[in-house]
């Protein structure tokens, strides 16, 4: 069975943020369940696992947003220098 963390990671990697949000709730429930039965050492391990996953998701999301912002800036700059839309010349021949 695929763990909620793996499905959450896959959703973030695919850019499916709405799905990731839903999977994060599932992951939270899974973590809470594991927390209840974990020893102190197990809880520390679980804490590190959760922090690592959330930091990775945050970094990837921020990088993607930065790339999208840079692309938008480039597109807007290109449009500003493109000038007015060209109209094709229509030649009429008189006979």
Residue 77, token pair as written in the block: 């700059």
pTM: 0.71
What separation in angstroms does the CA of 22 have from each of 5, 12, 28, 29, 37? Answer: 12, 11, 10, 11, 24
Give per-residue pLDDT as tens, 7-62: 999 999 999 999 999 999 999 999 999 999 999 999 999 999 999 999 999 999 99
């Amino acid at each position: 069975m695929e763990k909620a963390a793996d499905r959450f990671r896959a959703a973030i990697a695919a850019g499916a943020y709405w799905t990731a949000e839903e999977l994060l709730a599932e992951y939270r429930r899974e973590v809470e369940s594991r927390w209840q039965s974990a020893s102190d050492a197990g809880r520390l391990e679980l804490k590190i696992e959760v922090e690592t996953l959330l930091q990775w998701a945050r970094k990837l999301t921020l990088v993607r947003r930065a790339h999208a912002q840079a692309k938008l800036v480039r597109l807007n700059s290109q449009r500003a220098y493109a000038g007015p839309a060209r109209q094709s010349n229509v030649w009429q021949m008189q006979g």
